[in-house]
Amino acid sequence: MGTLAAVFGHPDEFYPLLKLKREVTDVEKLKQIPSKPHWVFCYTILHKVSHKFSLVIQHLDTDLRDAVCIFYLVLRALDTVGGTKDDKVLMDQFHHVSTAFLELEKGYQKVIEDITQKMGAGMAKFICKKVETIDDYNEYCHYVAGLVGLGLSKLFHASGKEDMAPEHLSSSMGVFLQKANIIRDYLEDIRETPKPRMFWPQEIWNKYVNKLEDLQYEENSVKAVECLNDMVTNALTHVEDCFKYMSGLRDPVIFRFCAIPQVMDIGTLALCYNNIEVFRGAVKMRRDLYGAFYDFSCMLKSKINKNDPNATKTLNQINAIQKVCMDSGVIVFSLYWPSFSRISTPTECKFSYGYTRKFTVRK
Q: Using CA atoms, how far apart are residues 310 and 320, in angstroms rounded to an integer?
A: 16
Indicate if 243 and 263 belong to the same structural domain. Answer: yes
Share above pLDDT 70 across residues of the chain, in percent, rounded to a whole number: 78
Q: Give how far Cα 161 sits from Cα of 32, 64, 65, 72, 306, Å.
A: 19, 10, 13, 20, 44
Round the average pLDDT of the chain to a whole number and report it. 82
Residue 90's pLDDT is what?
Answer: 96
Q: Which residue has better confidence, 153 or 333?
A: 153
Beta-carbon count within 10 A of 7 CB:
27
Q: Which of 256, 283, 310 is the last residue of a domain?
A: 283
CATH number, residue 118? 1.10.600.10
Of 42-51, 108-117, 213-222, least confident by mean pLDDT is 42-51
C-alpha to C-alpha distances, 361 to 264, 326, 340, nearest whole angstrom: 25, 18, 7
Same domain (yes/no): 279, 332: no
pLDDT-derived band at 56, boundaries 50, 70, 90 = confident
Q: Which residues contact 269 (CB under 8 A, 6 or more apart)?
A: 180, 183, 232, 235, 236
pLDDT for 151 beyond 80: yes
AA identity, residue 86:
D
Mean pLDDT of 314-337: 70
Residues 26 and 114 in one domain: yes
Total domains in the chain come to 2
Please tell me whether residues 62 and 196 are part of one structural domain: yes
Opening angle at CA 355, ends 352 and 358, nearest 5: 110
The length of the chain in residues reads 363
Same domain, 44 and 129: yes
Among candidate residues 134, 118, 112, 127, the one with its CA nearest the CA of residue 200: 134
Pick from 110, 35, 104: which is nearest to 69 by CA? 104
Closest to 118 (Cα-Cα) out of 171, 184, 197:
171
Q: Are residues 306 and 274 in the same domain?
A: no
Confidence category of residue 284, pLDDT binned at 50, 70, 90: low
Residues 229-276: tens digit of each pLDDT:
999 999 999 999 999 999 999 999 999 999 988 888 888 888 899 999
- Distance from C-alpha of 139 to C-alpha of 230, rounded to nearest angstrom: 18
Q: What is the pTM of this model?
A: 0.76
For residue 221, pLDDT beyond 80? yes
Residues marked active site are found at: 140, 184, 197, 257
Tally Cβ neighbours within 10 Å of residue 115. 22
Q: Measure the CA–CA gap between 138 and 149, rounded to whole angstroms.
A: 14
Question: What domain range includes position 195?
Answer: 3-283
Asked if residue 26 has pLDDT above 80, the reply is: no
The answer to whether residue 40 scores a pLDDT higher than 90 is yes
Over the range 278-304, which residues count as b (16 or more CB within 10 Å of their CB) and which as e?
A: bbeeebebebbbbbbbbbbbbebbeee
Beta bridge pairs of residue 357: 349
Per DSSP, the three-state class of 174 is helix
The residues pairing with 350 across neighbouring beta strands, listed in sequence order, are 356
Banded pLDDT at 117 (limits 50, 70, 90): very high
The reply to whether 152 and 204 lie within a common domain is yes
Mean pLDDT lowest among 161-175, 254-268, 337-351: 337-351
Alpha-carbon gap, residue 181 to 172, rounded angstroms: 14
- Say yes or no: 129 and 168 in one domain: yes
**Listed residues 283, 317, 350: the one ending a domain:** 283
Peptide bond into 194 cis (omega under 30): yes
Please state, in angstroms and rounded to a whole number, the distance separating the CA atoms of residues 288 and 307.
33
Amino acid at 265: D
Higher pLDDT, 297 or 96: 96
b/e map of 76-85 (b: 16 or more CB within 10 Å)?
bbbbbeebee
Confidence band (pLDDT; 50, 70, 90) for 292? low
Q: Which of 301, 352, 296, 300 is nearest to 326 (CA)?
A: 352
Query: At 156, is the pLDDT very low, low, confident or very high (cuts 50, 70, 90)?
Result: very high
Residue 82 and residue 122 in one domain = yes
On whether both 196 and 327 belong to a single domain, the answer is no
Q: Are residues 323 and 230 in the same domain?
A: no
Question: Which of 259, 283, 307 is a domain's end point?
Answer: 283
Of 148, 149, 152, which Cα lies nearest the Cα of 116? Answer: 148
b/e sequence 126-165, b meaning 16+ C-beta within 10 Å:
eeeeebeeeebbbbbbbbbbbbbbbbbbbbbbbbebbeeb
Provide the pLDDT for residue 67. Answer: 98
175 and 245 in a single domain? The answer is yes
Q: Nearest 5°: phi and psi at 347?
A: -120, 140
- What's residue 243's pLDDT? 93
